[in-house]
Amino acid sequence: MSRRPFTAVLLANTISIAGSSLTLIGVPWFVLQTTGSAGRAGIVAFCATLPVAVAALIGGPVIDRIGRRRVSAASDLICGLSVAAIPLLHYAGLLEFWMLCALMAVGGLVHTPGLTARYVLLPHLAEHAGTTVARAASLYDAVSRGARMIGAALAGVLIATIGAESVLLLDAATFGASALLVASFLRGVPAAEPQRLSEKVSLAGYRAELAEGWAFLTRSRLLLGITLMVMMTNGLDQGWSSVLLPVHGSEALGGAAALGLLIALFGGFALLGALFYGAWGERFSRRTVFAAAFLLCGAPRYAVAAFTDTPLPLAVTMALSGLGAGVLNPILTTVMLEKVPDELRSRVAGVTTAGCELTMPLGGLAAGLLVDGFGVTRALLVFGGVYFLVTLTPLLFPAWRGLAAPRINRTEPVRPSAEPAARSPHPSTR
């Protein structure tokens, strides 16, 4: 047994996600600085997120056949090159807007398979390290949230001191470091290498798997409701993070440093929310906690940002919203485990993940167009109003009663699942 592969994946994921947080703030700020257009920032967000849904939908079988170690390392290398090309072309005076959109699209297409490849290795790495899957998954999630928090805070400070272009170069370096760690320390781990599967790769096979996952999803009103709700809120959150908050930070909050600290504050309290739910959440009704958490983490951010031009009120709101956001993923992961049979989890997860990310490209684009046409305050109010209406659905529709924990028959032993948890439809609140 050895902890080195698991430690290497944790470190690689930390570096990669922290670097992605640099991009999350650095690219919108770069676009606003160089073009002055919120609409163009929205177009860049559209180009960056549209390929994500495609990659989530078709990436699973490809990852297994190429090998998780190779996919993870290649993903980080390609992301690093695409990010580095933006400031380098800008310094050379060659960067056109279409090039920026294309480079962001390339990064969006390959980044998700890399994250997925590391995620699905967790059970094997946990066994290799002599620990449980639950402990490994908890540490993995905590490290990921911590990396987002640190990366966001660092991005705000660095943009204010060395400029958005230099921050993007630093992000490229983090991708390179992550690729090196995975390529070096996962060599020899059988689950990280290409899997020899009996069935041949075919379009018909892809269609059959997708159809089976889609059929199960449509038969479950609860899972379909969750997917539709998260699909809507992910699109709204993408508009918030890629356009609305950067524009508001530029116009009213004092710059990139305040923006980075707000995002870091949200991430830190989301980590606390996840820990609090793990300790005490099962004592309360899932449906009530889920609905309250979504109401807390959504619309208040938009409303407070629309009516304040100082950081403190929004900082308090972001902290409270983070607490709510941290509660959501544990509930969604638990429901996915309970409702979906082991043999269908990968297929259902692929369909739900793609569905949840379907509106993200439109969210950034719509936010940019609204800001250009009506101003940031009205855009914030529109997005916040829609968010509020969407997050009322768990309280209004009977299907959401299925969130309740199943009753356990105490006369029979509970058998743990033999397979790792599939990725549930996680909200992309930032």
What confidence category does residue 421 fall into, taking pLDDT thresholds of 50, 70 and 90? very low
What confidence category does residue 263 fall into, taking pLDDT thresholds of 50, 70 and 90? confident
What percentage of the chain reaches a pLDDT higher than 90? 9
- Is the pLDDT at 334 greater than 80? The verdict is no
What confidence category does residue 422 fall into, taking pLDDT thresholds of 50, 70 and 90? very low
Average pLDDT over residues 266-270: 84
Token duo for residue 336: 């996915």
Give CA–CA dist 185/10, Å, rounded: 11
Token duo for residue 251: 């116009």
Considering only 116-120, 276-280, 418-422, which range has the smallest mean pLDDT? Answer: 418-422
Give CA–CA dist 102/237, Å, rounded: 22
Contact partners, residue 400, CB within 8 Å, separation at least 6: 222, 225, 287, 291, 393, 394
pLDDT reported for residue 138: 65
C-beta of residue 425 within 8 angstroms of C-beta of residue 351: no
Nearest to 50 by CA among 119, 111, 115, 120: 111
- Report residue 404: phi and psi, to 5°: -60, 145
C-beta of residue 101 within 8 angstroms of C-beta of residue 69: no
pLDDT reported for residue 386: 94
pLDDT reported for residue 336: 73
Q: What is the pTM of this model?
A: 0.71
Give the tens place of pLDDT for each residue, 63-82: 767 777 888 888 889 989 99
Token duo for residue 188: 């020899």
Give CA–CA dist 296/294, Å, rounded: 5
Among 118-122, 273-277, 310-314, 415-419, the range with the most confident prediction by mean pLDDT is 310-314
Give the tens place of pLDDT for each residue, 344-363: 665 676 677 777 777 888 88
Give CA–CA dist 276/159, Å, rounded: 33
Give CA–CA dist 193/197, Å, rounded: 12
What percentage of the chain reaches a pLDDT higher than 70? 83
C-beta of residue 364 within 8 angstroms of C-beta of residue 42: yes
Give the tens place of pLDDT for each residue, 154-200: 877 787 788 878 888 888 898 889 889 888 887 777 767 776 655 56
What confidence category does residue 225 fall into, taking pLDDT thresholds of 50, 70 and 90? confident
Chain centre distance of CA 32: 23
- Report residue 189: phi and psi, to 5°: -85, 115
**Cα angle, residue 209 at apex, residues 206 and 211 outer, rounded to 5°:** 105
pLDDT reported for residue 227: 85
pLDDT reported for residue 304: 92
Average pLDDT over residues 271-291: 80
Residue with tokens 């969604």: 332
pLDDT reported for residue 409: 47
Higher pLDDT, 104 or 2: 104
